[in-house]
Amino acid sequence: MKDDEVVGNFQELVSEVLIRHSSILDCLSKYQESTARVNRSVIKTVTDCGCISINANKKEYPNTESLKDCSKHMDSHIKGELCENCREVIAEEIGKHLFYLTALCNTLDYDLKDLFGLEQKRINTLGHFLLS
């Protein structure tokens, strides 16, 4: 399977297996739940496993000549690295999140490849002025 077919094949597979949560209300609630589960899996990595920690403070923007250079100096606030187990758990939760995002797209008749293309075009247009 080519890389450019992965998204289309995934969206088709989701439409084939999604029977129980085909209602837009089920899609929305499962999508929201999956977002919370991704966040919780990251938090549990810090509070249960401890392989990473978070040391956050006010962001300081360096005096650089360009916004492009600025991104090289920004801190994620993460210290340490994910252990193999935590990496696997978070990947599984992100996968479920992608499933429900795709289900939402299917229910509203969006083509995921089109959305990726539109967003890529928007990012390319805005470039480093996209500060969100």
Interacting span for Zn ion (CB under 5 A) from 29-37, 46-54, 70-78, 116-124: 46-54
Considering only CA atoms, give the Rg of the chain. 18
CA dist 92 and 87 (Å) reads: 9
Q: Map the footprint of Zn ion across residues 81-100, applying CB under 5 A.
A: 83, 86
Beta pairing, strands 78-80 & 52-54: antiparallel
54 is a site residue for Zn ion (CB under 5 A): no
C-beta separation of 97 from 35 below 8 A: yes
Report residue 85 as tokens: 């187990």
* Token output for 46: 């810090």
Nearest approach, Cβ of 59 to Zn ion (angstroms)? 26
Question: What sign does the CA torsion over 35, 104, 111, 127 have?
Answer: negative
Q: Which of 46, 49, 70, 98 binds Zn ion (CB under 5 A)?
A: 49
Complex with Zn ion: residue 18 or 42, whichever CB lies closer: 42
Contacting range for Zn ion; rule: CB under 5 A; set: 5-13, 30-38, 49-57, 93-101: 49-57
Is residue 107 within 8 Å of 22, Cβ to Cβ? yes
51 versus 70: smaller Cβ distance to Zn ion: 51
Which one, 38 or 70, has the nearer CB to Zn ion? 38
Q: Where does this chain touch Zn ion (CB under 5 A) — which range of 3-11, 42-50, 57-65, 96-104?
A: 42-50
Residues in touch with Zn ion (CB under 5 A): 49, 51, 83, 86
